[in-house]
A and B are shown apart, each in its own frame.
Chain A
Amino acid sequence: MNAMTDTIRFENVSKFYGEVLGVNRITLTMSPGITTLVGPNGSGKTTLMNLMTGLVQPSRGTVSVLGLKPSNATEFFCNVGYCAQFDSFPRGLTGFQFVLDSLMLFGMSEEDAHGLAAEALERVQLDAAAAHRNIAGYSKGMRQKIRLAQAIAHHPRVLVLDEPLNGLDPMARAESLSLFQELGRQGMHVVISSHILDEVDRISDRVVLITGGYLIAQGNIHEVRQEVRDKPMQLLIRCDKPDLLASKMFAVNHCVEARLHADGGGIFLRTGDVDQFYRILNEIAIEGAVKIEAVAPFDDNANAIYQYLIGSDGSTA
C-alpha cells in the first residue's frame, strides 16, 4: 500500500457556498490513526468532513481519500463511513432496520447485511432488544450509538465522525473512545470533530486546527505545541521543595511564571525556552538541593493549543 492510497489528501482545497466561505486553501494529509478536527463553531470543520465524505464537491483544489475521488462513487463511498452530527434518521425505522438499509445501500446482499448489522450493533454495545425498537423511542445516547453502528457496519477504511460524543454519558463516552482507539490502532482512518477536547486529546494521534475556514495548525499535539513559540510552555514539576526550585528557576530570565500546586507538592513553571529549561532542571537535579519526582508538560494538549491559537476556551466552542 503506497502513501497515496493510504492517506486522505486535500490539495489547495477551497469550498464556497455562493459568497460564503466554507474552507479556503486547505492543504492537508492525514495518515491512518485518529485525527481530531478542532475549531470553533462555523470554522469549517463540517465542510471539511463533507468534503472528505464526498457530500460536497470542492470549489477549487482536489480531495482524494485513499487515492479515490468521490466521482468514483461505488468504491469511494464503500471506503468511507460517516456519522453526521445531526440527530436525524429516516423516519419509522428500528435501529436494526436503519443499519440494515444502510448496508443494502452499500450493496451488501440481505444475508450479508444481516450478519454485518448484528456485528456492528454488538460492537457499539447496543443490545438486541433495543436494536429492534423504533429509533424514535431511543435515548440520545442510543441514537448516537446507532449512528456509529451505521457508520462502521460496512467495514469502511475511513471513519468520519462529526461530534460523536455529543449526548453520551461518561460510560458510553469511554466505550466509544475505546472503540475509536481500537479502530485507529488497527490502521483505520478515524477523523473526529469534537468539542470535548480533554477526552479526544487522550486518543488523538494528531490534531487539525481550523478557524474561519483556514487551517491554523496540524500535526501531533506535542509537535504543534512546540511550534507555538510565542506562548511560554507550562510544566508541572513534582518535587519536595517547590519554593526553592522556583527561586532557582527565576534566576534565569526565560522563566516567566511560577505557581504552587494546590497540594504544595509541586510547582507550575512557565518558560519561554523549554530546551534551556530542561538543561537547568537537570543541573538542579544533579546538585541534589531539590528532589524532583516528576516533570510533565502541562499545556501541550488540544485544549491549551486551541486557546493559544484560536483564542477561546475549547470546551465551550
Chain B
Amino acid sequence: MSVFQHDYRPYEGPTTALWTRPLVLARYGLAEAWGSKITVGLAVLALLPCIVDLVLMYLANNPAAKMLVVGGSKVLEINERFFFGVLETQCWFALVLAAWIAPRLVSFDLGDNALPILLSHPVSRFGYVLGKFIALTLSLSYVTWIPLLILFVYQSYASPVPWAMGHLGIAFGLFAGAAVWIVVLSLIGLAVSSWVKWRVIATGAMFAVIFVPAGIGGIASAILRTKWGLLLNVPVVMSELWQRLIGAPDVFRGKVDLPNAAIVGVLIAASLMCIAVLNARIRAREVVRG
C-alpha cells in the first residue's frame, strides 16, 4: 500500500444555502429555454395580441378615437368579458410556448443521460424538478399574468373614470387564472418531457395530452348524455375556471355548468398524475447493471 501523506485538503470555504441550489438549475434552464430563436419568436408572437388589446383599450378610453373608429358602439367595452378573452388568448399562447420550452428543459437532460451528473450534486430529484419548474413558470409568466396585469394597470390609468378599485376582482382573476394554468401546464410539460426523450415528439405529445382526452371526453358525454365527460376537456374546464375567477358572463350559457369542486378536483388529479410520472422518470440511475 502506498504511504498516504494525507495532505489533500477538501474545500472548506463558505457555501450557499441548500435551498438556493435549484435556482442554479432554474437560471441555466432559462438560459437553455431562451437561447433558442424559436422561443424568442414564439414569445414575441404571443405578445402581439396584447398590443392589439392595448390599442383597443386606448380606443375604448378615448371618446374621440372611439367615435372615429367604431362610431361609439358598445363593442369596445373594457369589462370582465374583454379581460376573459385576453386571458384565454394568452393562456393558449402559453400552451404553445410550454410545448416548445419544456422538452428543452428535461428531454435534453434525459436524452443526453445528464441526470446522473446533475444528481451527484447536493440537489435532490425534487430540487431538479423544482429548478426546471421555476424556469418554465417564469417563461410562461412572461406571456400570461405579467402582460395581463400590465393591461389592467393601463386600463386603470387610461379610464376617464375611477376604474381600478371597482374591478380588482378582474386583476385577481387574471393573476389566479394564469397562475393555475401555468402551474398545470408546467407540470404537464415536465411530465411529458420526462416521459418522451425526443424533443419534437415531446412537443407533439404536449398537445395530444391536452386535446386527445378532450375528444374522448366529448365522445363520452355525447354517448352517455352526461356533462361529466367534459371534465376530461381541459379547454372547457379552464374556460369555466377563468370565467368564474374573473366574474365574466357564462361563456357556455349554462350548457356546461361544472361544479367548482369538480374543476378543482380534475386539475389536482392531473397535477398529481404529472408528479407521479416525474417521480417515476426523474431518476439518477444510468443503467440497471454495469
Contacts and interface: CB of A to CB of B under 8 A. Distances in A.
Nearest to A74: B122
Which 6 pairs between the two chains have the least Cβ-Cβ distance? A107-B15, A186-B8, A187-B6, A88-B113, A55-B284, A105-B121
Contact of B122 (A41, A78, A205): A78
B4 A186 contact: yes
A185 B6 CA distance: 8
Interface in A109-148: 109, 112, 116, 147
B21 to A, nearest CB: 6
Interface stretch (B24-32, B47-55, B206-214, B250-258): B24-32
B4 A90 contact: no
A89 B2 CA distance: 34
Nearest to B289: A42
A50 B283 CA distance: 12
Given A74-B18, A107-B18, A187 B5 contact: yes
B223 interface: no
A84 B288 CA distance: 14
A42 B290 contact: yes
Interface of B: 1-11, 13-18, 20-21, 24-25, 28, 31-32, 35, 108-109, 112-114, 116-124, 284-290
Contacts of B124: 73
Given A86-B113, A90-B117, A102-B121, 12 more contacts: A20-B288, A42-B290, A46-B290, A55-B286, A84-B113, A84-B117, A84-B120, A90-B108, A92-B32, A109-B14, A112-B13, A183-B8
A43 B24 CA distance: 36
B289 A89 contact: no
Contact of A33 (B4, B114, B116, B122): B4
Contacts of B114: 88-91
A234 interface: no
A301 interface: no
Interface residues of A, number: 63
Given A33-B4, A50-B285, A55-B285, A41 B120 contact: no
Contacts of A45: 290
13 contacts: A55-B285, A79-B10, A90-B118, A101-B28, A102-B117, A105-B121, A107-B15, A107-B16, A107-B18, A107-B21, A108-B16, A109-B16, A112-B13
Nearest to A102: B121
A307 to B, nearest CB: 21
A92 B105 CA distance: 11
A89 B112 contact: yes
A187 B4 contact: yes
A268 interface: no
A213 interface: yes
